[in-house]
Structure 1
């Protein structure tokens, strides 16, 4: 639930879009983890697991992992007002969680003055979109069900989502 005592950080006093000034902040190690849930269906997931469904673009899961990492590195190019960050680390894992569903988890790490939530969310989202793109020839019923921040540490306030 939103905290009514807070205000939007990307608006200046005149209500216009503005980048947040992080110049006075002390750099800290910051980690954020985000997850995208993708429903593939039994048949597609079975095909992907039985050899990672090789495609012209490469193996599905490995290609999605690379796409997620690349996207996290380019977040500031995609989302207005995001600070460009030199990530210390970015990891993308794909977990099969049922006969029909996978979770894509992106963990982004930086030592800096601002958090890496957007990088983790972008990495998980683009990895999910890549899975969709690579499997859509088999079915358009694939659903990217949810992308959410799971946790973040190292900033003014830590966050952890309890599933």
Structure 2
């Protein structure tokens, strides 16, 4: 088996993508943060002392997507042409579902940016609400869609 991220000395390397064609690429990732009913209600009412939780989490998620190559060792820095994050409050399930859509035109994929955006958005929610709920749980972060590039399209069927 040949490893793509290992050099001849057996050490980590970043893959050379210079000969790959530029293609339009898109990725969608999802995740959830579970919390107490009181926490969700306070987010909805805007009574969390640190401010508008979902607005800050949206900005945090976008910043996370843009910072992906700084925290994931073998990730290439890429030009992100778009990043959007959506939140769905689920009072019955006591959770907030997070979805990140990322786009680029380039030589390598944008899946890690979408996954990082969801992760950072969830962590931002945790940070802003931890004073009222330290039992929050972040879960089910996953890639649900990917298009473009040599490996083609990917679609996961997910029931939320």
- TM-score, normalised relative to structure 2: 0.91
Does 1:86 pair with 2:83?
A: no
The answer for the alignment partner of 1:123 in structure 2 is 117
- The 4+ residue runs of structure 1 with deviation greater than 6 A are none
CA gap of 1:25–1:126, structure 2 versus 1, over 3 A, is same
How many pairs align?
156
| Match of residue 43 from structure 1 | 38
Per-residue CA distance 1:105-145 (angstroms, 9 max, x = gap): 11110000000011001110000000000001001110002
Matched, 1:22 2:13: no
SS at match of 1:61: helix
**Equivalent position SS for 2:98:** strand
Tell me which of 61, 68, 83 is aligned to 1:75: 68
Q: Unaligned regions of 5+ residues in structure 1, if any?
A: 1-5
Secondary structure, aligned partner of 1:33? strand
* Residue deviations 1:65-118 (CA, integer Å, cap 9, x gap): 000001100111111121001100000111113430111111110000000011
> 1:118 and 1:7, CA in 2 relative to 1: closer, same or farther beyond 3 A?
farther
1:150 and 2:147 matched? no
Q: Could you state the TM-score of these two structures normalised by the residue count of structure 1? A: 0.89
TM-align CA RMSD: 1.5
- Which residue of structure 2 aligns with residue 11 of structure 1? 6
